[in-house]
């Protein structure tokens, strides 16, 4: 039986620690720019909005990557039953990632000063491209880091004849992570052409490479947590990866509608963007099957809470809200408005960020030899960040609907003070829900950092939320009911889509916002509320299962595969 070598496996702890630190700073930067939306004079001339926003988006990418790397390093040996290859390269990778992070933080202010560090026709210090602000020097270090990760993973894996679908998914993911980055390591003077290649990196990372890694990691974590059948999970991973690449490759064209590319991209980009939710529905359905196959109790509740949150918010943020705004007739209105960050926050944090947090909750107790720990803080933290993020998305979405009508349909003046006051209420809502999210983020960071000091033999705590009718609400969740919840989400998504389409009506162009406002008022609150209730229902049904005999034996078994 294969046993973890904690000397090499503990290297993943460094990446999880870095993930938590960067996550904390990203949340603080996000709260600052939310308050600056309310009062643009805040920190003006000291930390301007454009710099803080760049810090917020870049740190989001960096902490998610840190979580991905930590998770891959943790499960790689378990998946392959081989020790982690070249641990010295992993140590180098950690320091390289730390240097790139500090470089990103320090050089963001250079853009405001117009300093790019030009030499040999390349911007070596800062290039100012959204999500890819780091200059050419950092780009090269990042490329080397991805190449190291791919090499270590592939060397850790057994011979290819022994690979299963999860091996292939991770191998494709880490290899593509390196290859796709090459499109960001050259500079093009023409802005439209530079945008064309920039989306190769940004889109294929998130809706191609990251999705492949996400599906593979979620699959194997479910194998560990519920002792699910590797072949069945591998089958789901195979079809998930195939559908991601089928829809995501041409779906990239939905970024090309408005940058001077030929008109045919509007049709093909809209068509394949509409197909992108398919693998997300598949992933959503498989987590239901894996969690219910043997009615196994939850031994590590926080880890599964965040895995479920990852898959559900992937469905809602990336799937439903992504679908509503990525074909041309809706994107012409939503593009560049507050409707976009509603989708982006749920998709990026929900899908990938929550997976990293789930992995940390699963792996840290095992790597630190903790036999049992108090899971209440992790549960409460989940509900705080989950509810806070849904609230932030709601504020962005409704505020964005007002913005689309006044700014896009009516052409009113932003700087003249016509659009700004109309959105003020929703601008206040963002930091309000941001504080809820901050409380949850602070709690989970504290919880994960202090698990080793607070380990104890404790009875399994009850679910955070109780209901007046626990018997009915906590009964077994059958597939038909889960399908109805999913269908309900998409029905509210249809209201949102019709609301954006209604901006094309003559009545709206003449100044009547009734139809888009009513549809948005039904769609967004309904979607986010049904999402919250479904997750509550799903977890309540699992909490009703018999308590496990103990966390320790199952953890030991999982550590040995």
- The number of CA neighbours under 13 Å toward the Cβ of 338 is 25
pLDDT tens digits along 365-419: 988 888 788 899 999 999 999 999 999 999 999 999 999 999 999 988 766 678 8
The residues, ordered by sequence, that sit 6+ positions from 498 with a Cβ below 8 Å of its Cβ are 519, 523
How far apart are the C-alpha atoms of 382 and 360, rounded to whole Å?
Answer: 13
- Is 257 in contact with 195 (CB distance < 8 Å)? no
Q: Which residue has the tokens 């195979």?
A: 238
Per-residue HEC secondary structure of 408-421 comes to HHCCCCCCCCCHHH
The residues, ordered by sequence, that sit 6+ positions from 472 with a Cβ below 8 Å of its Cβ are none
Tokens of 101: 């992070």
Instruction: Say whether 484 sits in a helix, a strand or coil.
Output: helix
One digit per residue, pLDDT tens: the chain, 561 residues? 455 555 667 889 999 999 999 999 999 999 999 999 999 888 888 888 988 999 999 999 999 999 999 999 999 988 988 888 889 999 999 999 999 999 988 888 787 777 888 888 888 888 878 888 888 888 999 999 999 999 999 999 999 999 999 999 999 999 999 999 988 887 788 888 888 888 888 888 887 888 889 999 999 998 888 888 888 888 888 888 888 877 877 888 888 888 888 888 888 888 888 777 878 787 888 888 888 777 777 889 999 999 999 999 999 998 899 999 888 899 999 988 999 999 999 999 998 999 999 999 999 998 888 878 889 999 999 999 999 999 999 999 999 999 999 999 998 876 667 888 889 999 999 999 999 999 999 999 999 999 867 655 444 444 444 444 456 778 888 889 999 999 999 999 999 999 999 999 999 999 999 999 999 999 999 999 999 999 999 999 888 766 544 444 344 444 344
CA-wise closest residue to 311 among 361, 277, 268: 277
Residues found in the chain: 561
How far apart are the C-alpha atoms of 190 and 134, rounded to whole Å?
Answer: 19
Count of beta carbons in the 10 Å neighbourhood of residue 462: 11
The H-or-E segment that residue 361 falls in is: helix 354-367
State the angle between helix axes of 354-367 and 211-226 in degrees (0 to 180), rounded to the nearest 10. 40
How far apart are the C-alpha atoms of 198 and 181, rounded to whole Å?
Answer: 10
Count of beta carbons in the 10 Å neighbourhood of residue 153: 24
Tokens of 363: 């792996």
């Amino acid at each position: 039986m294969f046993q973890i070598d904690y000397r090499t496996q503990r290297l993943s702890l460094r990446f999880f620690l870095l993930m938590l630190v960067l996550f904390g700073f990203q949340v603080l930067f996000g709260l600052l720019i939310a308050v600056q939306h309310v009062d643009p004079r805040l920190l003006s001339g000291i930390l301007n909005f454009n710099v803080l926003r760049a810090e917020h988006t870049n740190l989001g990418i960096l902490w998610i990557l840190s979580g991905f790397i930590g998770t891959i390093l943790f499960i790689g040996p378990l998946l392959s039953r081989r020790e982690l290859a070249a641990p010295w390269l992993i140590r180098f990778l950690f320091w390289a990632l730390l240097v790139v992070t500090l470089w990103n933080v320090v050089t963001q202010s250079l853009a405001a000063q117009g300093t790019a560090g030009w030499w040999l026709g390349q911007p070596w210090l800062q290039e100012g491209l959204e999500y890819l602000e780091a200059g050419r020097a950092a780009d090269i270090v990042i490329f080397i880091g991805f190449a190291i990760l791919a090499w270590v993973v592939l060397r850790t894996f057994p011979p290819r004849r022994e690979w299963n679908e999860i091996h292939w998914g991770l191998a494709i993911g880490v290899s593509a992570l390196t290859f796709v980055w090459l499109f960001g390591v050259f500079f093009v003077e023409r802005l439209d052409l530079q945008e064309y290649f920039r989306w190769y990196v940004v889109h294929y990372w998130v809706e191609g490479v990251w999705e492949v890694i996400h599906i593979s990691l979620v699959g194997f974590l479910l194998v560990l947590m519920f002792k699910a059948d590797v072949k069945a999970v591998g089958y789901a991973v195979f079809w998930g990866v195939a559908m991601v690449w089928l829809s995501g490759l041409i779906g990239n064209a939905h970024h090309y509608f408005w940058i001077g590319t030929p008109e045919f991209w509007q049709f093909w980009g809209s068509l394949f963007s509409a197909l992108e939710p398919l693998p997300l529905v598949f992933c959503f359905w498989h987590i239901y099957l894996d969690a219910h196959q043997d009615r196994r109790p939850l031994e590590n509740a926080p880890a599964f809470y965040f895995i479920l949150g990852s898959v559900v918010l992937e469905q809602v943020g990336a799937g439903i809200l992504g679908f509503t705004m990525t074909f041309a007739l809706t994107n012409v209105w939503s593009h560049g408005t507050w409707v976009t960050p509603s989708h982006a926050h749920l998709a990026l944090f929900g899908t990938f960020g929550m997976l990293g947090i789930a992995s940390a909750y699963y792996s840290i107790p095992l790597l630190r030899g903790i036999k049992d720990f108090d899971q209440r803080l992790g549960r409460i933290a989940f509900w705080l960040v989950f509810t806070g993020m849904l609230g932030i998305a709601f504020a962005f979405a409704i505020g964005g609907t007002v913005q689309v009508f006044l700014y896009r349909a009516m052409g009113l003046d932003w700087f003249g003070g016509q659009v700004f006051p109309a959105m003020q209420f929703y601008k206040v809502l963002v930091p309000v829900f941001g504080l809820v999210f901050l409380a949850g983020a602070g709690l989970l960071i504290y919880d994960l950092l202090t698990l080793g000091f607070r380990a104890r033999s404790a009875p399994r705590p009850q679910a955070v939320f109780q209901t007046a009718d626990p018997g009915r609400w906590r009964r077994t969740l059958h597939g038909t009911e889960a399908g109805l919840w999913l269908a309900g989400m998409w029905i509210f998504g249809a209201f949102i889509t019709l609301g954006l389409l209604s901006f094309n009506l003559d009545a709206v162009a003449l100044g009547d916002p009734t139809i888009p406002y009513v549809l948005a008022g039904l769609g967004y609150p309904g979607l986010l509320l049904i999402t919250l209730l479904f997750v509550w229902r799903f977890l309540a049904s699992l909490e009703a299962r018999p308590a496990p005999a103990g966390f320790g034996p199952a953890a030991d078994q999982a550590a040995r595969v």
